[in-house]
Amino acid sequence: MVTPKNDLSNERSYYSETDLESLEYLDMPLPRRGRLHEMILEDPISQLNAPKPIVLEASDPVSKAVKLMKKFRYGSVLVQDDEWLVGIFTEKDLIQKTSGKNFDFDKVTLREVMTPQPQALNAGDTLAHALHLMAVGGYRHVPVLDGGHPVGFVSIRGILRYIAENAL
């Protein structure tokens, strides 16, 4: 049996390839790649059957967005200008950009408080791509575009629901 070198008196703060060669005898099994793994890597977000988004104009008042978000229990609305996505307005935007300030939600427009030029996905993008974008960007909602026009959104809740219904 080969014994790994454990000479930590060496001045390097890392292991070289030579140092690690002695660990090859461990022959660790590769992780299983089952349905969940395949689903995340291969299924397009179009399979989520995501709800239609609420899409408002950048010139619409914040009060209109808040009323619709509350009524339909959505965490975000997509914001467009001449049918092109220009932003997203989320619960997080509402809290961070308006709390503690004297705002008249009927006069303040979405353009003033939205997150401009959000990252977006296309319907053919995979669940893995969506999850990566959400994790790296810290997003809970990501718009889905078709030719630059908003057609849907993906939420972390929607992805988890899809996984629970189809892989577990």
Average pLDDT, the chain: 86
| Interval 125-142: pLDDT, tens | 999 999 999 999 999 999
Under a CB-based contact definition with an 8 Å cutoff, are residues 56 and 110 in contact? Answer: yes
| Interval 78-136: pLDDT, tens | 999 988 999 999 999 999 988 877 888 999 999 999 999 999 999 899 999 999 999 99
Sheet holding 84-90, edge to edge: 55-57, 76-81, 84-90, 115-116
Under a CB-based contact definition with an 8 Å cutoff, are residues 155 and 130 in contact? Answer: no
Under a CB-based contact definition with an 8 Å cutoff, are residues 111 and 58 in contact? Answer: yes
Using CA atoms, how far apart are residues 68 and 66, in angstroms rounded to an integer? 6
Please report which confidence band the pLDDT of residue 6 belongs to, taking 50, 70 and 90 as the band edges. Answer: low
Under a CB-based contact definition with an 8 Å cutoff, are residues 22 and 2 in contact? Answer: yes
Under a CB-based contact definition with an 8 Å cutoff, are residues 115 and 94 in contact? Answer: no
pLDDT tops 60 at residue 4: no
Task: Say how many C-beta atoms besides its own lie within 10 A of residue 132's C-beta.
Answer: 12
pLDDT at 150: 87
Higher pLDDT, 122 or 4: 122
CATH of the domain spanning 39-166, picked from 3.30.9.10, 3.30.565.10, 3.10.580.10, 3.50.50.60: 3.10.580.10
Say whether pTM exceeds 0.85. Answer: no
